[in-house]
Amino acid sequence: MLNLLLIICFISYNLVEASPSGASIRPLSEQKEQVIQLFKQKKYAKACKQLEVVMPLLTRKLDRLEMQFLQAYCKFYIKQYEESSNLFHNFVEQNPAALKREEAVFMRGYSLSFKEMDVHLDQTVTHTAIDYLEAYIADYPSGCYLDKAMQALQTLQERLMKKSLHVAHIYFRLGLYRAAMVVLENFKRTYPASFLAEAVDRLWLESKQKLAKTA
């Protein structure tokens, strides 16, 4: 009997040690409250870690929604922007009538707008962020986050402008002057009032002159 009690105590001790702060044997309500308190204290990394324990235990849809929303914000604040956007997107797709739908629709694009993308790299993330933000504006033309959405869109469009000009410069350096001119002409049609208009016109003229010399 004594040996059996010792074995039970040993197993119980290891179960507590195996879970963060004994989370698996604490009431779920306490675990949820801990997440909320960590979030309020702006301890987002710790809240994310705790959410990894709590989320699989939730069976009620409303509980999962609440924690999923906090998890998306935690990812945003620790600068994991793509994960944050995905979580907000899933929230929107799974809960079309949720009270926080507008906020989630906005945040799925706003989160991505913070992800730094070198103009030398593929801009798929930038285009996705633009699509999401434009979807927000279309769904909520008088929405609470309209100003922030417009500001983020402007930043994203400027990133695409720089990318387009960068591509034109590559064609120019490679001696592909006609291709450079095509890119620059598309640029002027797409962004007629761009802050890069002068640089675009200058490169277009240089490309035209170089092309004339090679003709």
Q: Assess whether pLDDT exceeds 70 at residue 59.
A: yes
Q: Identify the top-confidence range among 31-35, 84-88, 117-121.
A: 84-88
Query: Exposure of 25 by Cβ count < 10 A (0-12 exposed, 13-18 middle, 19+ buried)?
Result: exposed
pLDDT bucket at 25, cuts 50 / 70 / 90: low
Q: pTM of the entire structure?
A: 0.77
- What local confidence, expressed as pLDDT, does residue 22 receive? 44
Count H helices, E strands: the chain?
A: 10, 0
Least confident interval from 14-28, 91-105, 134-148: 14-28
Average pLDDT over residues 151-161: 94
- What local confidence, expressed as pLDDT, does residue 67 receive? 93
